[in-house]
Copies of this chain bind each other. A is one copy, B any other.
């Protein structure tokens, strides 16, 4: 049975903040939920302000699983190293319906700040 959601998701405000010096490193998470009973094959495209996008980072989310992808961990993004403190944007395209939420944790000051939103779903 296919899961709920959509196949294309867009996140205009991505930004990997400074890691900071505290117990928790500043980071972003691209959180994917696959409620279906087959694996979701997802391609992630990364858009910039001043250069061409980096296309086609492949990730897989198992059936009935969630995956919270940390953008500061290249091993979770097929080796792609996201630069810190640079505005960018994200597109995800999946072969099956998924749901995508984006969150950021900033520790530029001693106390953390959080923000989150669903991605924009289409198709």
Question: Footprint of B on A, CB under 8 Å?
Answer: 4-5, 8, 10-13, 15, 22-24, 29, 31-33, 35, 45, 47-50, 52-53, 64-68, 87-89, 91, 99-123
| Residue of A15, A31, A48 with highest tally of chain B CB at under 10 A | A31
The 9 A-B pairs of least Cβ separation, nearest first, read A66-B89, A13-B31, A12-B33, A68-B87, A12-B31, A109-B111, A111-B111, A114-B115, A113-B114
| Residue of A12, A29, A47, A101 with highest tally of chain B CB at under 10 A | A12
Closest beta carbon of chain B to A106's beta carbon, Å: 6
The CA of A122 and the CA of B115, in the complex, are separated in Å by: 23
B112 and A115 within 8 A (CB): no
